[in-house]
Chains A and B, each alone.
Chain A
Amino acid sequence: MSDLWLMVLLCVVVTYAWRGAGVLLSGRIATGSDAFRWITCVAYAMVAGLVTRVILMPTGLLGTSLLAHRLIACGIGLAVYYVSRRNLFVAVVAGALAMTVLNYLRVTVG
């Protein structure tokens, strides 16, 4: 087994560990405790940090697009989300479509 699959296996195990612990502790732990809040903060901050970084400083293919376009597309996605009464699907498609169109216009029209 390569290192890659060992990594996947470890990620699978640690991910399930939280769910298994949830069953084990259900009805026994206070969700309002400080330790609980702290881990919630870390979990949210980590995802928010990753997403912000991918939007502001992407690598790979997304790195070839303009920052302004990525910000506009995110703004459109969020606006559509509220206008469509929190329809996540419509919002996500609108954002991705905006990105495609902006990028296409930049490359073809200049």
Chain B
Amino acid sequence: MSERRNSAAFLRGVREVIGVPAAVLAASYIGFGAMAGTGGVSIWIVIVSTVAMWALPGQLVMVDMLQIGAPLIAIVLAVTLTNARFLPMTLTLVPVIRDRNHPLWYYYLAAHGVSMTVWTISMRRCLEMPAAERLPYFAGLVFACIAVSAGAGAVGYLLADSIPPLIQIGLVFLTPVYFFVLLIGEARSRLTAIALACGGFAGPLFYVLTPQWSVLVAGFAGGTAAFLLHKALEHNDV
């Protein structure tokens, strides 16, 4: 296994991102940066959370709850639950990029890069290449995605301050419309579709009742209702 082959695989990962994935990430992180910028959160929170958390929905929950003045414990709990999807994603990804020549701790490091974009690309592409090249390729994907996103977040933040409010609205609207389309368009299973519908109903409802705890309570109530509803449907063989 040569250094050259590793760096070639890494660069292929970087190149894979440049194009539509980078454009989508840039648009969504510009939106996130703009939202944080108009909401009075520091630019460092935008950059550090992008590099170190690397989870847009979680970052959005964090910044949004910060702006509505939620208690710290509620924010941390909500972020924890919002990011639960990383468990099944990492679980299914590791066997795909695993190569016995790499020590296991490499994978603990690499796991930090797991995100919707990276996961989707690697699950599709990695099986086509030799096992030894998968990890460097994955690292290339992660590096490029995080770099683009952190840069875009900063750009969005700075743009939000320097353009007229009439146009700012479009930037701030990027994030909601991104998740709106992504969630509806990518809801593949009946379970996720039911969870989205229940959550979509519970979110505004609990915001009226208890704004500061609404994200957390709506997730729990909506998610549990969806789980039970799905179980009932399954039980009745619908």
Give chain A's interface residues, CB within 8 Å of chain B. 3-4, 6-8, 10-12, 14-23, 25-27, 29, 31, 34, 36-62, 64-65, 70, 73-74, 77-78, 81-82, 86-89, 91-93, 95-97, 99-100, 103-104, 107
Contacts and interface: CB of A to CB of B under 8 A. Distances in A.
A88 B196 contact: no
Contact of B27 (A7, A43, A93): A93
A54 B52 CA distance: 25
Contact of A78 (B180, B194, B198, B219): B180
B interface, over-half SS: helix
Interface string B105-136: 00110011010000000000000000000000
B168 A61 contact: yes
Given A18-B84, A45-B219, A45-B223, A11 B177 contact: no
B191 A73 contact: no
Contacts of B201: 52
B214 interface: yes
Say which size band chain B's interface belongs to: 35 or more
Most chain B beta-carbon contacts within 10 A, residue among A38, A40, A50, A60: A50
A15 B101 CA distance: 28
Contacts of B111: 16, 19-20, 22-23
Contacts, number: 314
Contacts of B12: none
B202 to A, nearest CB: 5
26 contacts: A6-B72, A7-B66, A7-B76, A8-B49, A8-B53, A14-B83, A18-B86, A22-B91, A31-B91, A31-B92, A41-B230, A44-B223, A45-B202, A49-B206, A50-B64, A50-B215, A51-B179, A51-B180, A52-B201, A52-B204, A53-B215, A55-B180, A88-B185, A92-B178, A93-B27, A100-B173
A96 B177 contact: yes
Contact of B196 (A39, A45, A60, A92): A45
Contacts of B20: 87-89
Cβ-closest 5 pairs across A and B: A22-B90, A49-B203, A46-B219, A45-B199, A42-B223
A104 B83 CA distance: 36
Contacts of B38: 60-61
Interface string B31-50: 10001001100100100110
Contacts of A22: 86-91, 93-94, 111, 114
Contacts of B98: 26
A93 B53 CA distance: 25
Q: Which of A36, A47, A57, A103 gathers most chain B CB within 10 Å?
A: A47
Given A22-B111, A49-B219, A4 B227 contact: no
B23 A81 contact: no
Contact of A96 (B61, B87, B171, B216): B171
Given A45-B221, A46-B216, A62-B172, 19 more contacts: A7-B75, A8-B52, A31-B88, A39-B84, A40-B88, A41-B198, A41-B222, A41-B226, A45-B195, A46-B218, A47-B57, A48-B198, A48-B222, A49-B203, A60-B38, A70-B173, A95-B180, A96-B173, A99-B169
